[in-house]
Amino acid sequence: MTVASIHIVGQDANGEHAEYTTAMILDDFIEKANLKFVYPAARSFGFNNPDGIDDNDPAHGFERWISIPDDMEVPAPLVKKHLEGGMYAAHVIPMGAWDEGWMPLYNWVDENNDRYVGRWSTIDGVCGWIEEHLNYWDWNNTYDGKAANQVDLLMPIKPRFAAGTRHPQERIVETFNYNGIPVEVVEWDATIWSGKIGYAENNTDEPNVDPILNGFMALPIPTMNERIEPDWDVCMSVNYFSKERPNGVMFADLVGTENQPQGFDVYKLPAGQYLRLAINDDSAKALASQPFNGGIPPYEWVGEQLAPQFGYQYGNDRLPVFEYYGFYKPEKNAHEFRYLYVPVEKQKSN
Q: Tell me: the pLDDT tens digits for 242-254? A: 889 999 999 999 9
What is the reported pLDDT for 136? 83
**pLDDT attached to residue 147:** 42
Q: What does the pLDDT read at residue 143?
A: 45
- Using one digit for the tens of pLDDT, what is the confidence trace for 311-321? 999 998 899 99
Residues near 336 by Cβ (< 8 Å), separated by ≥ 6? Answer: 326, 327, 328, 329
Return the pLDDT at 142.
Answer: 45
Note the pLDDT tens digit of each residue in 1-40: 999 999 999 888 788 889 899 999 999 999 999 999 999 9
167 pLDDT more than 50: yes
Average pLDDT over residues 269-284: 90
pTM of the predicted model over 0.75: no
Q: Are 81 and 89 in contact (CB under 8 A)?
A: no
pLDDT band at 125 (very low <50, low <70, confident <90, very high): low
Query: Which helix (H) or strand (E) segment is 44 a member of?
Result: strand 44-48
The answer to whether 314 and 240 are in contact (CB under 8 A) is: no
User: 221 φ, ψ to 5°?
Assistant: -50, -40
Phi/psi zone of residue 191: left (φ > 0), alpha (ψ -120 to 50 degrees), beta?
A: beta
pLDDT of residue 257: 97
Average of per-residue pLDDT across 102-111: 86
Mean pLDDT of 283-301: 79
CA separation (Å) from 10 to 19, 50, 62?
10, 11, 9
Confidence of residue 158 (pLDDT cuts 50, 70, 90): confident
Q: Smallest Cα–Cα separation from 324: which of 224, 212, 235?
A: 235
218 has a pLDDT exceeding 70 = yes
pLDDT above 90 for 177: no
Output the pLDDT for position 115. 67
Contact present, 81 and 29 (Cβ < 8 Å): no
- Round to whole Å and give the CA distance between 303 and 151: 41
Write the CB contacts of 153 (distance below 8 Å, at least 6 apart in sequence).
90, 91, 92, 93, 101, 102, 105, 129, 131
What percentage of the chain has pLDDT greater than the value 90? 49
Domains of the chain: 2-159 (3.20.80.10), 170-346 (3.20.80.10)
* pLDDT at site 139: 67
